Amino acid sequence: MSLEKNSMIQVYLDTVSSHIKWREVHGQVKSELLSHLEDIVMELRNDGISEQQAVTEAIHRMGDADDLGRQLQQTHVPQKNWPLVAIVTLLSGVGIVLMYMLEMSGLFTPSVHVFTKSLIFTGFGVAILLWLYYCDFRKVRSYTTYLYIGTMLLWFMGLFLGTSINGKQFLAFGPISIDYSGIIPYVLVVSLAGILADRDWSNQQWVKKVLLLFIVTFLFCVMSNNTPLSFMYTLVFLVLMAIDGARKVQITGFLMVPLGYILIKMYQEVGSLNLAYYQSASLWGQSNLGVNAITAFHTDFSFLYFIQEYGWLAGLMLIFAGIALLLILVSATLQVKDRFGRMTVGGLTVCFAVQMTWHVLMSLGVMPVVSISMPFISFGGSQTVIHLGAIGVILSIYKRKNLMRARG
Span 390-404, pLDDT tens digits: 999 999 999 988 875
Q: Which residues contact 394 (CB under 8 A, 6 or more apart)?
A: 81, 84, 329, 332, 344, 345, 348
DSSP 3-state of 175: coil
How far is it, in rounded angstroms, from Cα 18 to Cα 37? 18
Proportion of the chain above pLDDT 90, given as a percent: 44
How far is it, in rounded angstroms, from Cα 32 to Cα 11? 15
pLDDT score at 159: 86
- pLDDT-derived band at 291, boundaries 50, 70, 90: very low
Mean pLDDT of 215-242: 93
Q: Give phi and psi for 63, each to the nearest 5.
A: 105, 170
- H/E stretch holding 161 reads helix 144-161
Q: Residue 406 above 80 pLDDT?
A: no
Mean pLDDT for the chain overall: 86
pLDDT score at 144: 94
Flag the least confident range among 113-122, 223-232, 289-298, 302-311. Answer: 289-298
Q: Residue 153 above 70 pLDDT?
A: yes
Mean pLDDT of 282-291: 51
pLDDT digits (tens, 9 = 90+) for 5-21: 788 888 888 898 998 88
pLDDT digits (tens, 9 = 90+) for 182-215: 889 999 999 999 999 999 999 999 999 999 999 9
The answer to whether the pTM exceeds 0.75 is yes
- DSSP tally for the chain: helices H, then strands E: 16, 3
**Number of Cβ within a 10 Å radius of residue 23:** 8
Strand partners, 362: none
Q: Residue 176 above 80 pLDDT?
A: no
Q: Residue 133 above 60 pLDDT?
A: yes
Q: Which residues contact 308 (CB under 8 A, 6 or more apart)?
A: 277, 278, 280, 281, 285, 286, 287, 289
How far is it, in rounded angstroms, from Cα 227 to Cα 181? 11
Strand pairing category for 176-178 and 168-173: antiparallel
Closest CA to 138 of 389, 390, 394: 394
Q: Residue 407 above 80 pLDDT?
A: no
Q: Which residues contact 273 (CB under 8 A, 6 or more apart)?
A: 294, 301, 304, 363, 365, 369
How far is it, in rounded angstroms, from Cα 118 to Cα 72? 43
Q: Which residues contact 343 (CB under 8 A, 6 or more apart)?
A: 193, 196, 197, 240, 243, 244
365's torsion region: left (phi>0), alpha (psi -120 to 50) or beta? left
pLDDT score at 274: 46
- pLDDT-derived band at 225, boundaries 50, 70, 90: confident
Strands, E assignment, 99-195: 163-165, 168-173, 176-178
